[in-house]
Structure 1
Amino acid sequence: MQNQPTIATVIVTYNAREYIGKCIDSLYKSSVSTAIIVVDNNSSDGTDQIVQNNFPEVKLIQSSVNLGFGKANNIGINWALANQAEFVFLLNQDAWLEEDALSEMLAVAAANPDYGILSPLHLQYDSQSWHQGFHRYVKLFAPALLEAETELSTIYEVNFVPAALWMMNSTALKKAGGFDPIYFMYGEDDDLAARIRAAGFKVGVASSAKGHHMEKSISDRGISVKRLAAKYFGHYTAVLKHSKHNVIYRYLSITKSVIQDILTHSSRGSHKEAKARILAFWNILQIIPKIELSRQKICCEGAFLNIVSAGAIDRENLDRILASDSVAGADR
């Protein structure tokens, strides 16, 4: 591709030794070049050493704590924007791209500058079958994409697509901002997609590009109470942040809804569901001032980003950069 826009790929890792080699290797094999930034969330399985030893060209940023998905991605996004990347691609540690995926997405982005987020097709990790998580959203927002007999369009607009494989343009990021670190896991990608749409950009799927993502087989029945609570925390936080009602109405409404859910699940014997909602709501009560501060901050351009000078993000001053965030992630 002539005059290829600059693109940087951000990979957040946590105990990813099983996947990280294939993930990064797919970028090395890409038909277009990309800078690669790995932000390691204090892995204990040697993931960071694998990156250091096998991929020395990769920019590795090592955190001494687990920052969560969104906050760690913000570190990589900051580095990419500080180094003048025109596009930032977020790639899950358990995902990989086909050779022409970046090239195809850059071509689609060039023809559709009003799209702030572009995603390739999400396929199973080791096959050409649909990733079921992706399939659910596409079936809801762009069912024509799933019809084999229909000639595919270049791009399909959707309200949301999972952030396992996201390409964002820098203009949208600088306007809408990065991930809100109030979410540790679950809900941060929904939140950012909504803010990018609110900033006047679209979210879409580039049908000619393909990525592969490991399918998580765990269901809510097999999930731990703590992890299930994190899902509900994300949902409650999003409702409180984005509702247009006043503060009293918002918190009374969410309290009523949570109590009804707890009573319903308790009466049905779904004690884990009830406990998860109680834990999620308790965590919400602990950080009401942070939620309200976050609600105010999303109105600001570049929210939750701290774009430093090129090359300034290193392990020595990572703590200083993290400390500059005005909204901390919830401990859950």
Structure 2
Amino acid sequence: MQKQKLPLVFVIILNYNGKNKLNACISSVLHSDYENLEVVIVDNGSSDSSFDDARRDFPKCHFIKSSKNFGFSRGNNLGLRWALEKFADFIFILNNDTLIETTTISTLVATMKKMPKAGIISPLIFKKNGKDVWFAGGKIDWIRMRTEHILENGFSTPRKTEYISGCAMLIRKDVFKKVGLFDERFFLYYEDADLSLRASRRGFELYIVPAARIVHLEQSSTENAAKTYWLVVSALLFFKIHANILQRTWHVFYLAARRTKNIYDLFFKKSRTAEEVRRAYRDFKTISF
């Protein structure tokens, strides 16, 4: 098929201090067998040389640099707005610590063309060893207020899922027209579940495509303490936005129990994790969303 007849795909790679991973990710994308492809690197205020190195090594890519770390949602939205202005048909959000196969994007696009109701789809995502599954679908646990990765991958055709991980998600442009971009109230975590849920509630279907595969190296740019803090804050925000009245009533009691355990852990186990969770609960009450 001629390049001009293929849907235009923009790959958006958000980077923050990715010196030891960004170039490998870009290189894997540029080795894709899909021809009508543009690559956009959005730098989230990195303090290392990763952005400049990539701009030097990959002059045909597009580069956007922010003045500071705006988080996952706002950072990716910089690239999304630019890509949509350039008439993208599909946008592939991709973590900078991933490696894709040559057929990953073409397989995903072919799936989208066959399944017009699909709004967001994901490849099967493996851990660094290439054997163990990191993401084969996602579940939203409305009782325990968390999202969970499905790890079972014994399926050969696209499978529906409740949410798609922001690690790698191919999104139809119509999704953004109907539900908007990533919600920038989410600095880190749960923005993918939020977009997925908004899309599914507007009639779009979400799928995992096992024939498309990537490897997630899991080289996080977020320290453990910050990760714990933002996981809790974003979870509180997500369930505040999306839970129904009965679920919210249950969450009052559930959170009270969680806080009681957290206080016990903080004072008797001297846990740094418990300290970050307690700080997240406290700050959530004062943050203006």
TM-score (norm 1): 0.75
Counterpart in the other structure of 1:310: none
How far apart are residue 26 of structure 1 and its match? 1.4
Aligned partners of 1:141 and 1:158 also within 8 Å: no
How far apart are residue 271 of structure 1 and its match? 3.1
Q: Which structure: greater strand fraction?
A: 2
Separation of aligned partners in 2, 1:25 and 1:226: 30
Question: Which moved further from structure 2: 262-271 or 62-71?
Answer: 262-271
1:164 corresponds to which of 151, 167, 176? 167
Counterpart in the other structure of 1:134: 135
* 2:230 is the counterpart of 1:230: yes
Counterpart in the other structure of 1:7: 9
How far apart are residue 178 of structure 1 and its match? 1.5
How far apart are residue 274 of structure 1 and its match? 2.9
Summarize the Cα distance change of 1:270–1:53 in structure 2 as closer, same or farther, 3 Å threshold: same
Summarize the Cα distance change of 1:120–1:260 in structure 2 as closer, same or farther, 3 Å threshold: same
3-state secondary structure, aligned to 2:269: coil
Aligned partners of 1:142 and 1:157 also within 8 Å: no
* 2:281 is the counterpart of 1:278: no
Summarize the Cα distance change of 1:266–1:27 in structure 2 as closer, same or farther, 3 Å threshold: closer
Q: Which amino acid is the alignment partner of residue 96 of structure 2?
A: Q
Separation of aligned partners in 2, 1:270 and 1:157: 42
* 2:179 is the counterpart of 1:176: yes
* 2:24 is the counterpart of 1:43: no
3-state secondary structure, aligned to 2:245: coil
Q: Which amino acid is the alignment partner of residue 244 of structure 1?
A: N
Aligned partners of 2:137 and 2:151 also within 8 Å: no
Separation of aligned partners in 2, 1:229 and 1:17: 25
Counterpart in the other structure of 1:191: 194
1:189-268 equivalences under 5 Å are: 189-215=192-218, 224-245=224-245, 256-266=256-266
Q: Which amino acid is the alignment partner of residue 27 of structure 1?
A: V
Aligned partners of 1:258 and 1:281 also within 8 Å: no
Q: Which runs of 5+ in 2 are unaligned?
A: 140-147
Aligned partners of 2:136 and 2:150 also within 8 Å: no
Summarize the Cα distance change of 1:177–1:250 in structure 2 as closer, same or farther, 3 Å threshold: farther
Residues 92-112 of structure 1, C-alpha deviation per residue, up to 9 Å, x if partnerless?
101121111111111110011
Separation of aligned partners in 2, 1:88 and 1:190: 17
Residues 11-67 of structure 1, C-alpha deviation per residue, up to 9 Å, x if partnerless?
000111111111111121111131111110111211111121111111100111011
Question: Which moved further from structure 2: 191-200 or 224-233?
Answer: 224-233
Separation of aligned partners in 2, 1:216 and 1:268: 32
How far apart are residue 266 of structure 1 and its match? 4.4
Residues 131-185 of structure 1, C-alpha deviation per residue, up to 9 Å, x if partnerless?
3x31584997584xx23xx6x12x1111123211110000012212221111211
Q: Which runs of 5+ in 1 are unaligned?
A: 291-332
The aligned length equals: 276
Counterpart in the other structure of 2:144: none
Counterpart in the other structure of 2:97: 94
* 2:99 is the counterpart of 1:105: no
3-state secondary structure, aligned to 2:182: coil
1:64 corresponds to which of 56, 63, 67? 67
Task: Give percent identity, aligned residues only.
Answer: 25
Separation of aligned partners in 2, 1:115 and 1:261: 41
Aligned partners of 1:39 and 1:76 also within 8 Å: yes
Question: Which moved further from structure 2: 252-261 or 7-16?
Answer: 252-261
Summarize the Cα distance change of 1:27–1:217 in structure 2 as closer, same or farther, 3 Å threshold: closer
How far apart are residue 213 of structure 1 and its match? 1.1
Q: Which amino acid is the alignment partner of residue 38 of structure 1?
A: I
Residues 251-275 of structure 1, C-alpha deviation per residue, up to 9 Å, x if partnerless?
9667635533434534762633432
Summarize the Cα distance change of 1:113–1:142 in structure 2 as closer, same or farther, 3 Å threshold: farther
RMSD: 2.7
Separation of aligned partners in 2, 1:205 and 1:100: 15
Aligned partners of 1:240 and 1:250 also within 8 Å: no
Counterpart in the other structure of 1:27: 29
Counterpart in the other structure of 1:16: 18
